[in-house]
Amino acid sequence: MLINKTHGTVYAGAGITKEALGHIWADRKYTRPMLFYDGAVPIGDLNALEFFGEIRLDCQKEPTYEALTEILFRARSIYERRKWDVIVVVGGGSALDIAKAVAVLLTNNGDPLSFRGFNKIRRPGLPVIAIPSTLSGSEATNNASFTDTQTQRKMGINGAHMFTEFAILDTQWLPAEDSPVWAGTFLDALTHAYESGVCRQANHLTRYMSRQALAFLSSGDREQIQIGAHLAARALCNSGSGIAGALSYPLGVLYGVPHGVAGGIFLPDAIRFNDGPDAPLAQWVTEFLAAYSVSTNLRDYGVKDLEQLQNHVKELQPAFNQNPKPFDAEKDGWAILKKHWKK
C-alpha cells in the first residue's frame, strides 16, 4: 500500500508573497498573525503589514533544544497576551523548524525534549505560513530538527501535526546564486532529491518526485529550482535518506558544519557507491562543489580526531540500512571518512 504524507497549500511564483498572504487572509479569516523571522533576512515589505507580535531569530548556528526552550518562553509570554491565530515565518530551515515547533508547543504542554521522536504531539498547533528563504525544503516536511547538546545528537520533533498549513515559494526571498547560503542549501536539496529516490523506502511516487526535483534543480531557473527543492523535501518526507544524509549529522553536531554542506561533501561518494565510479550525477555534484569552493577536506572543518567522528558514524548503521546497496558503517563509512581527511 502506497501512503503519501502531505498537507497544506503551496503558492509559487516570483514576487507573489503579498498577494498570497492576502488570499490566505481572505480565505481563512486570520486576523492576528505573529511573525517569526531570521534576523539575517531583510523582511522588506512585510514591515508594512500589521503583526500582533514578532520574534527575531538568530539562525547562524543549527538550533538546539536549549535555544528552542528560550524562544518558546518568549513566545508564550506574547501569546498569552495577544492570542495569535496564525504564525508567519520567514527564513531558512532553522527558522522554519523553530516556528513549526513553537506552533505545536504552544498547544501541547511539556518540555520540548519530551517530544523528540515521532507522533508525540497529540494536539494540532497553530497554523503556520512558511516563507522559505533557502532551498532546505523544511516547509514541505513534517519534521523540525534540533540538536540535543547533552547527548550530542540531532533529534527531531516529527509527526502529522508538524506540517505547515501554507508555503509561499517566492524567489524574491532566496539568496544570491553566488552566495554560500545558496550553495549549501542547493546541496541539501540535491541530497534530498537523490537519496529519496534510491533509498529502500522509496516508492513510485517518491521516485517520480525525486526525478522531477533533480530535473528542476539542474534547470538553471530560480523558480524551477525552488520548486525542485520543495519536491525533493516532500519526497524525502515520504521515503528516507541514505549515506550522505546520515553522515551529515555528526559533522553538524560536533563541528558546526552547515547541514547542506555536510551532506554535500559526501553526496558524490554516495552516488558512486550506488551507481558506479562514472555516474554523471556524481561528476556534476563534484563540479558544483569545486565551482563554489566548498572544501571536501574534513580537516578544514576542524576534524582533528577521525576516530571520534567514526565512533559517531558507527551509530548510524540503521540509517545506512536505508541505502539500496549494503553499506557497512565500520568498513565503508571509515573508507569515506579517510578519503576526506587529507593532509
Q: Is the pLDDT of residue 322 over 90?
A: yes
**pLDDT surpassing 90 at residue 152:** no
Instruction: State the pLDDT at residue 4.
Output: 80
Torsion of CA 322, 326, 329, 330, to 10 degrees: 170
Model confidence pLDDT, tens digit, residues 232-249: 999 999 998 999 999 999
Q: Does 1 score more than 70 pLDDT?
A: no
With cut-offs at 50, 70 and 90, classify the pLDDT of residue 48.
confident
pLDDT digits (tens, 9 = 90+) for 7-18: 889 999 999 999
Length of the chain, in residues: 343
What percentage of residues in the chain have a pLDDT greater than 70?
A: 99
Average pLDDT over residues 242-259: 95
**How sure is the predictor about 266, in pLDDT bands with cuts at 50, 70 and 90?**
very high
Return the closest-CA partner of residue 227 out of 6, 1, 30, 13: 13
pLDDT of residue 169: 98
Q: Which of 80, 65, 285, 244 is nearest to 155 (CA)?
A: 65
The pLDDT, as a whole number, for residue 153 is 87
DSSP state of 161: G
Confidence band (pLDDT; 50, 70, 90) for 3? Answer: confident
* pLDDT tens digits, one per residue of 202-237: 999 999 999 999 999 999 999 999 999 999 999 999
Amino acid at residue number 276: G
Q: Tell me: the pLDDT tens digits for 119-144?
A: 999 999 999 999 999 999 999 999 99
**Per-residue confidence (pLDDT) for residue 73, from 0 to 100:** 96
* pLDDT at residue number 45: 81
Pairwise CA distance, residues 276 & 80, whole Å: 57
- The x, y and z cell numbers of residue 53, run together, are 507580535
The whole-angstrom separation of Cα 297 and Cα 14 is: 37
* Distance, CA of 25 to chain centre: 27
Q: Are strands 86-91 and 128-132 parallel, antiparallel or unpaired?
A: parallel
pLDDT confidence of 154, banded at 50, 70, 90?
A: confident
Specify the pLDDT at position 139.
Answer: 97
Report the pLDDT value the prediction gives residue 155, as an integer from 0 to 100.
86
